[in-house]
Amino acid sequence: MTLTLYYFPNTAARAVHIALEEAGAQFEPVLVDFRTNAQRSPEHLARHPSGRVPALGTPQGVLFETPAILGYLAAIFPGAGLLPADPFRAAQAMAVSCWLASTMHVAHAHGRRAARWADDPAAQEAMRAKMPANMADCATQVQGMMQGRWVLGEEWSVADAHLFTVAGWLEADGLDIADWPRLAAHRALMLERPAVQRALAREEAALAA
C-alpha cells in the first residue's frame, strides 16, 4: 500500500509521522514547506481544504485531520498496537486525540495565528497575551487525563504520539514542561522510542536540506 505523509516539522503532522514509524509502515514523506507558504499552494489546497498539515495520501484518496488519520492507521495496521482492540479503550485514546486537536491545538494557534479569528490588532494582541495561560490550563487538564505513564496507563497508543506533539509546543509558548511532571516524564519516555527518534531525525534532516 502506498501512503504519502504531507508534513512540516514540529507541527501536528508529527503525531502521524510517529504513528507511521510505530506501525513500520512504508510511506513517502513529502515536505509541505511552510517557509515558502507551500501549504497555501493550489496543489496542497486540493489535498487539505484549509491548507494545513497533516494530510495522508492513501490508495483511496487523501485524508486530513490528525485524529481521523491516526484512527485510519490503527485500522489498516491492526497488529501494530496503535490503538487497543477493546472499543471502549480505543475510544478513550481517541477522545484525548480529538481534545488535543480541537482544544489544546486551537489554544496554541491563538498565539501565532490570531489573525484567523480577528482583524482588529488589539483583539489579536489580546488573544496572543491570553495564549500562555490557556495553554497552561490545557497542560493541567491533559495531565489529568493521563491514566498512567501513557495516556491509557500501561498501554501505549497513538494518543501518546499526539500528546507528545502538542505538549512539545509548550516551551515555544513561553511555558516550562517541568511544571507538569507527568507530561515531562511522558516526553522523556517518548524520546526513548526508536520510532520517535526516526521521525524526529527525518524532520531535522528535512529542515537542514
Q: Based on CB atoms, which residue is closest to ligand GSH, 52 or 186?
A: 52
Which residue number places its CB atom closest to ligand GSH? 52
101 binds ligand GSH (CB under 6 A): yes
134 binds ligand GSH (CB under 6 A): no
168 neighbors 187 (Cβ within 8 angstroms) = yes
110 binds ligand GSH (CB under 6 A): no
Q: Which of residues 166-205 bind ligand GSH (CB under 6 A)?
A: none
Give the number of other CB atoms < 10 A from CB of residue 155.
Answer: 16
52 binds ligand GSH (CB under 6 A): yes
5 binds ligand GSH (CB under 6 A): no
Task: Return the axis-axis angle of helices 66-76 and 87-99, rounded to nearest 10°.
Answer: 150
Q: How far apart are CA 61 and CA 17, in angstroms?
A: 18
* Positions that interact with ligand GSH (CB under 6 A): 11-12, 39, 51-54, 65-66, 101, 105, 113
